Copies of this chain bind each other. A is one copy, B any other.
Amino acid sequence: MKHLSKEEFDDLQKFYRINLINSCTGYKSANLLGSISKEGVENVSVFSSITHLGSNPAMLGYILRPTTVPRDTFKNIKETGLFTVNHIVKDLISEAHHTSAKYPEEISEFDKTNLEQEYKDGCKAPFVKGSPVQLICKYQNEYNIKENGTILVVASIEDIYFNEELVSDSGFLQLDKGGVVTINGCDGYALPSLLDRFEYQRPKK
């Protein structure tokens, strides 16, 4: 095994370090967040930090980094109070990844990619058409992580839309049935296949 210690991280070339540290925590969720400004400008942006926070109430969080792109999403969320979460599928990885380009605030990424917006059920924020799992989320709070200046954005899950082929009798959404991808590092997209599911585990005697 190759070993690198904290002191050695500082000697790494900048992008080597970014790639290494971004890929060393494991696979990440792959989502497109849809939002809209108070002036009506749409935004769609790739996120790999959406994290389950709890089932009851249904909540999720994401990490906002001080130096990265998705500031427009955050600004829109603060203005309108809501956003959509749309799982990224295999055929859209290239288009999805392009939303990480830094477009000016007045440009909609829907106009610069082949991603298509859709609107439904009176939700102001746009969804991404073709995504097999879509959520409407409401902003709840934010926590400043003082150790590095990032922000944990906390939101409630208000609505869930899913392709019915994905769901099992027990409510499990089998994501590989929808071609949902996962992110490896900053820019790697991988397609998982389900290996197995396990029962609730009890201690062995």
Contacts and interface: CB of A to CB of B under 8 A. Distances in A.
Interface of A: 1-6, 9, 12-13, 15-31, 48-61, 63, 65, 85, 87, 90, 93-94, 97-103, 107, 112, 121, 133-135, 140-141, 143, 145-148, 150, 152, 154, 156-164, 167-168, 170-176, 180-182, 184-185, 187-204
B167 A59 contact: no
Contacts of A59: 147-148
A69 to B, nearest CB: 9
B187 A197 contact: yes
Nearest to A3: B161
B152 A143 contact: yes
What's the dominant secondary structure at chain A's contact region?
A: mixed
B135 A146 contact: no
B148 A53 contact: yes
Contact of A201 (B25, B101, B157): B101
13 contacts: A4-B159, A6-B159, A12-B171, A19-B171, A20-B171, A22-B52, A23-B172, A53-B145, A93-B196, A98-B204, A143-B143, A190-B195, A192-B192
A101 B134 CA distance: 32
A28 B29 contact: yes
B161 A1 contact: yes
B54 A148 contact: yes
B94 A196 contact: yes
